[in-house]
Amino acid sequence: MSDDDPESLPPGPTRRKFLLTSGTSVAASLVAAYVPASAKSAAAVSDSAPISAGPSIDGAVPITLRINGKDHKLNIDPRTTLLDCIRETVALTGTKKGCDHGQCGACTVHVNGRRVLSCLNLALMHDGEEITTVEGLGTPEAMHPMQASFLACDAYQCGYCTSGQIMSAVALLKEPCGPDAAAVKELMSGNICRCGAYANIVDAIQQVRKRA
Ligand code: FES
Ligand code: FES
């Protein structure tokens, strides 16, 4: 059977269909989660009245998470991680869950301007603090320079790690970092890319640093 012979291909997804689907996913990660408000949980995005994260949660605690400049008043199980709260309760799905164990960096967000692994933090630890997710960096029409640079440098493949990479890369701009690629690699070593897009990721970061 030959890949070139359409008659010989089995039914099911083709490589062309797979690549088209993957491209759509990557674009969503770069300027991730510009989810229309109507598609989000109305309760989860309310910024006026406290809301419940579930019908009844024993021991729920009230907190206010300030995410991307907007207050979210929530009643949550105190065991809820910041990652799950951002994704499941507030419905901002640009932040990704990879390992859920602090090993991959996919869940990186900023808290008070510093990068943190949201899977290793409880949401209630950040009551009232300034949280930024990839959705807060830029818009498709006005991307953050780092988002634009990732796009220009083709610094992704499947895109699953990309929002975490970008959040780390933006934080890196304000951290002590030597000028060369080796220094960038060291500071980005907590962000794993299973697709191996590392060379282009470093290029994207270095281009932004050169322009800064
Ligand atoms: S999901 Fe948090 S480090 Fe992997
Ligand atoms: S682009 Fe696929 S894991 Fe990084």
pLDDT on residue 212: 87
Does the structure show a pLDDT above 80 at 33?
no
Which ligand neighbours the alpha carbon of 198 most closely?
2
Which whole-number Å values give the CA distances from 103 to 32, 34, 118, 164, 186, in the listed order? 21, 27, 11, 12, 15
Three-state DSSP class for 175?
A: coil
| Distance of alpha carbon 209 from alpha carbon 113, whole angstroms | 18
Residue 136, CA distances (Å) to 113, 143, 149, 194 in order: 12, 10, 17, 25
pLDDT tens-place string over residues 39-74: 333 334 344 444 444 456 789 999 999 999 999 999
The answer to whether 105 and 117 are in contact (CB under 8 A) is yes
- Ligand 1 pocket mutation pick from 82, 85, 116, 119 by most atoms within 8 angstroms of CB: 119
Q: What is the mean pLDDT of residues 188-203?
A: 98
pLDDT of residue 191: 98
Looking from the CA of residue 192, the nearest atom of ligand 1 is 4
Q: In terms of DSSP bridges, do strands 70-76 and 51-52 run parallel, antiparallel, or are they unpaired? A: parallel
| Res. 100 pLDDT band, cuts 50 70 90 | very high
Residue 58, pLDDT score: 84
As a whole number of angstroms, the longest Cα–Cα distance in the chain is: 63
Model confidence pLDDT, tens digit, residues 153-176: 999 999 999 999 999 999 999 999
Architecture of domain 145-211: Orthogonal Bundle (1.10)
**Ligand 1: which atom is nearest the Cα of residue 99?**
4
User: Which listed ligand is nearest to 160 at the C-alpha?
Assistant: 2
**165 Cα: distance to centroid of ligand 1 (angstroms):** 12
> What integer pLDDT is reported at residue 57 of this predicted model?
78
CATH of domain 37-136: 3.10.20.30
Q: Sketch the domain layout of the chain as residue ranges.
A: 37-136, 145-211
Of the candidates 55, 81, 76, the one whose C-alpha atom is nearest the C-alpha of residue 64 is: 76
Q: Which pLDDT value is given to residue 48?
A: 43
pLDDT digits (tens, 9 = 90+) for 101-138: 999 999 999 999 999 999 999 999 999 999 999 999 99
Distance CA 77, CA 3 (A): 52
